[in-house]
Amino acid sequence: MAILIDETTEVIVQGITGFQGRFQTKRMLDYGTKIVGGVSPGKGGEDVFGVPVFNTVEEAVEETGANTSIIYVPARFAYDAVLEAIDSGLDLVVCITEGIPLYDEMKIHHRLESSKTMLLGPNCPGAISPEKSKVGLLPDRSFAPGRLGIVSRSGTLTYQISENLTRAGIGQSTVVGIGGDPMPGLTFRDILPMFEEDDETDAVLLIGEIGGSAEEEAAEYIATKMSKPVIGYIAGITAPLGKRMGHAGAIIEGGKGTAESKIEALRDAGVIVAQSLHDVVDTVRKIMR
228 dihedral zone (left: phi>0; alpha: psi -120 to 50; beta): beta
Domains in the chain, please, with CATH?
10-120 (3.40.50.720), 139-288 (3.40.50.261)
Per-residue model confidence as pLDDT tens digits over 124-167: 999 999 999 999 999 999 999 999 999 999 999 999 999 999 99
Confidence at residue 238, expressed as pLDDT on a 0 to 100 scale: 56
* Cα 164 to Cα 287: distance, rounded to the nearest angstrom: 16
Low-confidence ranges of the chain (pLDDT < 70): 238-256
Q: Are strands 126-129 and 230-235 parallel, antiparallel or unpaired?
A: unpaired
Spatial separation of the C-alpha atoms in residues 168 and 170, rounded to whole Å: 6
Distance CA 268, CA 288 (A): 21
Three-state DSSP class for residue 93: strand
Spatial separation of the C-alpha atoms in residues 158 and 151, rounded to whole Å: 8
Q: Is 278 a catalytic residue?
A: no
pTM equals 0.94
pLDDT for res 247: 53
Q: Give the dihedral sign, CA 135/229/160/179.
A: positive
Burial class (CB in 10 A: 0-12, 13-18, 19+), 224: exposed
DSSP-based three-state secondary structure for 235:
strand
Do 98 and 75 meet the contact criterion of CB atoms below 8 Å apart?
A: yes
User: Of the listed 109, 110, 247, 278, which one is catalytic?
Assistant: 247
- Tell me the backbone φ, ψ of residue 270, rounded to 5 degrees: 95, 10
Going by DSSP bridges, is the β-strand pair 118-120/92-95 parallel, antiparallel, or unpaired?
parallel
129's enclosing H/E stretch is: strand 126-129
Provide the edge-to-edge strand list for the sheet that holds 230-235: 133-136, 126-129, 172-177, 145-152, 203-209, 230-235, 272-273
Contacts of 104 (CB under 8 A, 6+ apart): 78, 79
